[in-house]
Structure 1
Amino acid sequence: MDDGRRRFSLAMVDNDELTLGMLTLMVRRLLPEADVLWTCRDGAEAAARCLSPATRPDVLLVDMSLEGLSGVETCRRIGAASPDVALMGITSFSLERYAAAVLDAGARCLMDKAKVRDVCAVARDLAGGCRPSTLSRYTPYVSKESAAQAHARLAATGATGRNVADDGERTREANSSAAALPDERSLTAREREVMRLCATGRSTREIAETLHVGESTVKTYVMRAARKLGARNRTQAVARWLVSRG
C-alpha cells in the first residue's frame, strides 16, 4: 500500500546468514517504503555491488564483524568511491570498539543492531537526506561530516587505511555464530512468548508492559532463550528462533 512515503532502496552485509534473514524480515515489516535490494555476507562483494549503478542502494547496513574485508574497510572502500550510498555501521558488540574507526571510514553512524526499530528509523531518515545531528536521538555515534565531505576526504587519502579492529578477535567473533541451532521446544512457554514479541520489533519496555513484568525479567528471559538457542545476542536469538520454527 502506498502511504505517500518516499520509497528508497536498502541493502545489508552481515556475516551471519540467520541475522540477515531476521533483519530482512524486520525491515520489510517496519519499513514498507524500503525495497531490500540485496543482502550478502562478504564485504568485498558488498563494496562491488555498491559501486555498480545497477545494484547501488540508497542505504547500506554494514556489520562490523565481517570475514575478509572488515566492516570498517568496507565502508572506507565505498565511501572513497562514491558519496551516493548512506553507510550505516551496525554491530551486536561494544559500539565504542568500532565507533571512531567506522565514522572515520565514512559511515553516517554506528548503531546497536538489536535495536531494530531505531535502525529502521535512522535508515528512513538517511534516505530522506536528514542532517546528521537529527540522528543523535538514536545513537551517540554520529558523523559530523556530510556524505559529500566524507567522500572528498576519503577520495583524497585513498580507500585503504589502518584497520584498528583486531583481526584475530574479529574472526573468533564471526566464527562464534556457527553454533548448531537447537529445537525451539527447548524454550519454556514464557521464553517463546518473549521471542515472539521480540520478533515483532518491540522494545524491552514494551514487552514488559505487555506481559506485566519488570524490564529486568524480560532481559532474563531473553538471556535464557539466547543461551538455549546458542545465540550471542538478542538479534541472533530471534533469528535462530524464527528459523527453528520452520
Structure 2
Amino acid sequence: MMVVDDHEVVRTGLRAILEPEDDIEVVAEAPSAVEAARQADAHQPNVVLMDVRMEGMNGIEACRIIKNSHPDMAVLMLTSFSEEEAVTSAIMAGASGFLLKNVGRAELLKAIRAVGAGQSLLDPAVTRSVIDRYAKLLESERDRAVDAISDREREVITLVAQGMTNRQIAEQLVISENTARNHVSRILEKLNLTRRSEAAVFAAQHGLLPEDG
C-alpha cells in the first residue's frame, strides 16, 4: 500500500502502525498529491491511504487521477474534519472509503483491509451527513427534472400515466401519432427513464397527475 500526506510526522506515524502487520506492506509514500499519482504508477499499490487536504493539488483530485489510471486501486481518504462536501467529492472521485484522522489503530487497520478486499466504507461519524447530503441532491435533481418538462409534455406524461397508447394520446391532443411518440421519447430522455411505466410512476410521485374529482 501507499501512504500520502504532506506532513512527514503523519506519514511516519502511519508507517509505524502499518509496517508491523504481516499482511500489510507499505511499498511507497508521497508528500503531495502530484507525487502520489507518480508513485501509484511506479509501485502499483492495491491500497492508497491519502489525506484530503494537502498543499497544491488536494487528495480528492489525486484520487480522481489515480482511479482514472488504475480503476482497481482502492483509495482510502483521511481528513481531520467531517466535511459533507469533501466526503461527497471523494466518493464521486472514486474513493473506496473515508475516515476521520482521529480513528483508532484497530479501526484504521480494519478499514485498510476492507477496502483492500474490495469493500467500501465510511466512518460512522460522517455517514449520516453524507446520507443527508445525497437526499438533498436527489430532491434537487427531481425538482430540476420536473421543471424541464414543458406544458405539452406534462399533458403527455399525464396521459401516459393513464395507460394511453401513442395513438390514443394523439387523438386526445389532436396531434399526429408520430408527434406523440416524439413527445414520449423526449420525456423519457429528460427524466432519464427507459420505460413508459417508469414515467407513469414519476408522474404520480411528483404531482403531475390531475386530482380526482
Corresponding residue for residue 93 of structure 1: 81
**Whole-angstrom CA distance in 2 between matches of 1:64 and 1:137:** 14
1:117 equivalent in alignment to 2:106: yes
Corresponding residue for residue 72 of structure 2: 84
In structure 2, the CA distance between the partners of 1:138 and 1:57, relative to structure 1 (3 Å rule), is: farther
Runs of 4+ with deviation above 6 angstroms: none
**Whole-angstrom CA distance in 1 between matches of 2:98 and 2:27:** 21
Corresponding residue for residue 58 of structure 1: 46
Larger radius of gyration: 2
Structure 2: 5+ residue runs without aligned partners? 131-213
**What TM-score does the superposition give when structure 1 sets the normalisation length?**
0.48
**What TM-score does the superposition give when structure 2 sets the normalisation length?**
0.55
In structure 2, the CA distance between the partners of 1:136 and 1:94, relative to structure 1 (3 Å rule), is: closer
Following superposition of structure 1 onto structure 2, how do residues 177-196 of structure 1 map, counting pairs within 5 Å? none
Matched to 2:84, the amino acid is E
In the TM superposition, residue 93 of structure 1 has moved relative to its aligned partner by: 2.2
Deviations 1:120-150 (A, max 9, x none): 11110121223x3xx357565499xxxxxxx
Q: Identity of counterpart residues, as a percentage?
A: 27
Structure 1: 5+ residue runs without aligned partners? 1-9, 144-246
Equivalent residue in structure 1 for 2:17, among 1, 26, 33: 26
Does 1 or 2 have the higher relative contact order (CA < 8 Å, sep 6+)?
1
Matched to 2:4, the amino acid is V
Partner of 1:44, secondary structure, is helix
CA contact (8 A) 1:109 1:141 kept: no
In the TM superposition, residue 63 of structure 1 has moved relative to its aligned partner by: 0.2
CA contact (8 A) 2:76 2:95 kept: yes
Partner of 1:12, secondary structure, is strand
Corresponding residue for residue 126 of structure 1: 115
1:37 equivalent in alignment to 2:27: yes
1:46 equivalent in alignment to 2:36: yes
In structure 2, the CA distance between the partners of 1:136 and 1:88, relative to structure 1 (3 Å rule), is: closer
CA contact (8 A) 1:110 1:141 kept: no
RMSD: 2.4
Corresponding residue for residue 103 of structure 1: 91
Matched to 1:12, the amino acid is V
In structure 2, the CA distance between the partners of 1:139 and 1:108, relative to structure 1 (3 Å rule), is: farther
**Whole-angstrom CA distance in 2 between matches of 1:122 and 1:138:** 12
Corresponding residue for residue 216 of structure 1: none
1:15 equivalent in alignment to 2:3: no
In the TM superposition, residue 70 of structure 1 has moved relative to its aligned partner by: 0.8
